[in-house]
Amino acid sequence: MPFTPFKLGALELPNRLVMAPMTRSRAYVEGIPSSLTALYYAQRASAGLIVTEGAQPSPAGKGYMNTPGLHTDEQVAGWREVTDAVHAAGGRIFAQIMHTGRIGHPDNTGALPVAPSAVRPATQIFTPNGMQDIPTPVELSTGKVEATIGDFVDAARRAVDAGFDGVELHGANGYLIHQFLSQNANLRDDRFGGSVDGRIRFAVEAARAVAEAIGASRVGIRLSPGTGAQEVVEDDAHEVYPALVSALSEIGLAYLHLIAGGSDELYERVRALWPNTLIVNDPSLADPADAASHWLGRGADLVSLGRAFLANPDLPLRLRLGASLNEPDFTTAFGGDHRGYTDYPTLALHPA
């Protein structure tokens, strides 16, 4: 079943294996992807779909060092080289738009991070000066929240200009959209906070605005229901996520990309409420074949894989043949050169 075709909007996917977004921190010059990045993604074009590492929609959306952006003409030109290379290799590629919110540091960005509320997560972040405590973020005014939605729209338009087949909004892992959903990171008393309807509003309005700008069939969203991350607390996940998914389902998005880890009951409720394509990523299942079999058997349409694609550019072929897999070198995961990036070996097939 992982190797059967699947139709995602206007795209014909040759298999049901998605390359998950993975931060690689190699955009060293003004957040512009390099030719090496183009090679990295083109090597993995046999995935049914590639979702890129997160690209910030604005300078304020940057949290980590050397991450790519989607807010300047130069960044668009860099991404165009990436999409051209992937398409030339026969692939399909979405850009993930990722605003990190309160997860950031002035040493990485030159400014304090921004967030739904001025609540500091008790965690650290890597900077040019080593690991440092994340500072208390600046609370976004209502006007700035609305302007941030505009940043997502602008980034989505730029992604289309760069040749991407679509975009994924990153609403998981404790970043900005997830922070708005959270009861401890979002203490607002305006229309973007308070009740469940208030806390889901940013995610819904951002998704709707992006869908109206580039077409709903080219927009996905990633969520991590009830998993918690980056000090996010979700004691009311069983109220928040059914409400959110119900509202998102009315927009007609291309897909919902879930990170597994919450309760089985919550997954079943979300699956029942979501009418379109469902992608599941399960970091707890190290074996990609097991992950694909498990989640496709539980109602997912596609399965996303991270570490396995990082180390195996030809992963679909390896899984189809039952071949051994390269192990990822995590010492080269973030930053560096071609080592641990574009030099993982592929199978050498010799005809009989």
Name all contacts of 187-195 with Cβ < 8 Å and 24+ positions apart: 187/116, 187/117, 187/119, 188/116, 188/117, 188/139, 190/142, 191/142, 192/116, 192/142, 192/145, 193/116, 193/117
Angle separating helix axes 264-273 and 237-249, nearest 10 degrees: 20
Q: Choose among 229, 238, 146: nearest CA to 196.
A: 238
Please state the length of the chain. 352
Q: Spot the catalytic one: 40, 41, 64, 175.
A: 175
Biggest alpha carbon–alpha carbon distance for the chain: 69
The CB density around residue 146, as the number of other CB atoms within 10 Å, is 14
Which structure tokens are listed for 43? Answer: 């090597």
Q: Is 344 a catalytic residue?
A: no
For 55, 97, 174, 225, 252, the CA distances from 123, given in Å and listed in that order, are 22, 23, 12, 21, 36
Q: Choose among 20, 30, 11, 6: nearest CA to 291.
A: 20
Please report how many Cα atoms fall inside a 13 Å half-sphere around the Cα of residue 30, on the Cβ side: 9
**Integer Cα distance of 88 and 71 in angstroms:** 25
Which structure tokens are listed for 55? Answer: 């690209």
- For residues 61 and 176, the answer to whether their CB atoms sit within 8 Å is yes
* Residues that are catalytic: 175
